[in-house]
Structures are given as structure tokens and as C-alpha cells.
Amino acid sequence: MTTETTAKQSPGWKAILLGLFVLFQVVYLPLSNLIQLVPREMPVQRGEFDIRIQREGTATDIRFIQEGINGLGSAIDRYGEISGQVQAWSLFAPDFGKQSIFPVMETKTSHDGIVRWIQLNPKHLPHDPNNYFRWPGQLSRLDSYDFLIAIIYWNASETSLRERREEWRQAVLDRVRQQQRSLQAYFGFSLKLYHQLRPELPPPSEMILRVIVFPTPLPGSRERPPTFMIPLARWRPNTEPTPGYLPVEAYDLVLEKFVPLATGETR
């Protein structure tokens, strides 16, 4: 009878790295959520991905502690971006949505001497916001993209737009400037959809992106405030932008017209 003794083998370097990664993720996942509740000093948002839900400000007057919080938060943010784990959504915190927003595209074309405006609506735009149902499906990401395009007006109201017009004006100008690439892609996507739906018509000379807002009923009320629509951006597909200006124009809420945005212009 032969007795075989199997020596206990040490884990290889790959297994060690995997274990360290798992342990790091166990710490990172809850920490990356908790840090969003701690006030941090955040840089001015310049890119197109400005949907952070981080609480901003200072958590303490002790400078070195606040700088430590800022540094920890920045390190967590960078790791999340590099590893593709960034999530930019929350359920009911820190804010609860008070209305729904949808982007709608209006296209202007001339055919046989007749000027036509054709509106392209998102697939899930409700015909009646008081009575509708949508089955879950594979287009949720497209709905999310629609929301991000229109998010600048998420908290807009007719009263706020009227009383704080200058603030809204600057916010819209900044938003359209920051989202030039996303807006061009969205206009391009809508242009392809237009050609698919209306192949008999010539290309549009002008495309206007508007945002339709469905306010929710006020607390204690069953009556929904009126739906309203706000212009956001304009693009002319067949026109080259003036040298020194960006392709997509922004709507100026004070002048009440679309205005070109100079390249490199800052506030």
C-alpha cells in the first residue's frame, strides 16, 4: 500500500492579486457611496458629465481634515472613472424629482415652396401624463440619455424662469457650451431618424432642441400644473459655423433667441 502525501501549496501571485482586489472592492463600494454624503470642496464642473450627486461645501473648519476629505474623495472618484464603476444616479436623495422632462426635436425643411416643421418625439414621451403606462424594456439607457440632454431644465418652473431669468440664461449658455459634443451627436442621431421617417423630404435646414416639462401635482393637490416647453439649442446641418464659433447655438432666455457661442469663451 502506497501512501501519497500532498504538500500544501501556497497561492500563486494571481490568486493573491485577485484576493486583494476583492478586499479593496469590499472597502471601495460602501466608501464611494458614503463619501457623497460628506461635504467636499469640488472644482467647477467643466466637462459634459456634470451629473454628480456629491454634497458640496465643507464638513469642518479644521483645514487639514477638510483637505484629507477632499483628497480621499478625489482618489475615489479617479478610481471609479478608471475602473468604469462611476454611477450617477440616486433614488430619492439628495433631491426628489418634482417633474419629468423630455427632449423634443423640431426640424425645419422647405419642399415645393412649403416650409414644414416636423417634431421628433422620444419613444416614451407620454401622450397623457395623467394616464399612461410603459412596459419595461431594453431602451432604458436611451431614456437616460434623453434625460441627461434635458437635465438643465429639471428644476425649471415658469415662475423661476421669469424671476431668475439672468441666472437661467447663464446656466443654459454654460450647459450648451459644455455639452457641444453630446449635443452634436444627439442632433446627428435625430437627423438620421428624420431621414428614416421622412425619406421623401429634403434635409432640414434647421433643427431646434426643446425640452418639454411635465410638472407633478403640488402636495395635497390632484391637479397637475400646465405642461410647458423651453428651447435649449439649435443646429443648422447644412451650414458651416462662423469661424471662431461653436456649431451648436444656445437659447438666450433674456434675449429670447438663439445666440452663437464663441470658442474658448469663458464666463
pLDDT digits (tens, 9 = 90+) for 18-30: 999 999 999 999 9
Domain assignment present for 266: no
Residue 91 lies in a domain: no
Note whether 194 and 111 are same-domain residues. Answer: yes
Say whether both 123 and 172 belong to one domain. Answer: yes
> Of 22, 54, 83, which residue is a domain's last?
83
State the cell numbers at 89: 444616479
Strand partners, 229: 212
- Determine, yes or no, domain membership for 52: yes
Q: Which domain holds residue 51?
A: 13-83
Helix (H) or strand (E) holding 116: strand 114-120
pTM greater than 0.85: no
Per-residue pLDDT reduced to its tens digit, 193-242 = 999 999 999 999 999 999 999 998 888 888 888 899 999 999 999 888 88
Instruction: Name 176's Cβ contacts closer than 8 Å, sequence gap at least 6.
Output: 183, 232, 233, 248, 249, 250, 251, 261
Contact 170, 267 (CB under 8 A): yes
Strand ordering across the sheet containing 257-259: 114-120, 99-111, 206-215, 228-235, 249-252, 257-259
The closest of 121, 95, 89, 97 to 229, measured between CA atoms, is 121
Indicate whether 46 belongs to any domain: yes
Q: Which of 35, 58, 83 is the last residue of a domain?
A: 83
Distance CA 100, CA 150 (A): 10
For residue range 100-150, list pLDDT tens digits in order: 899 999 999 988 888 999 999 988 888 888 888 888 777 777 888 888 899
Nearest to 170, CA basis, from 78, 98, 266, 241: 266
Whether residue 66 contacts residue 58, with contact meaning beta carbons closer than 8 Å, is answered with: yes
Helix (H, G, I), strand (E, B) or coil at 66: helix
Could you report the per-residue pLDDT of 47-66, keeping only the tens digit for each?
Answer: 676 667 788 899 999 999 99
Whether residues 76 and 128 fall in one domain: no
Nine-digit cell at 99? 417633474
68 and 118, same structural domain?
A: no
Neighbour tally for 155: CB within 10 Å: 13
Say how far apart CA 229 and CA 125 lie, in whole Å. Answer: 13
State how many domains the chain has. 2
**Within a domain: residue 265?**
no
pLDDT band for position 265 (cuts 50, 70, 90): low
Both 183 and 150 in a single domain?
A: yes
**177 and 114 share a domain?**
yes
Same domain, 116 and 223: yes
- What's phi and psi for 117, nearest 5 deg? -110, 120
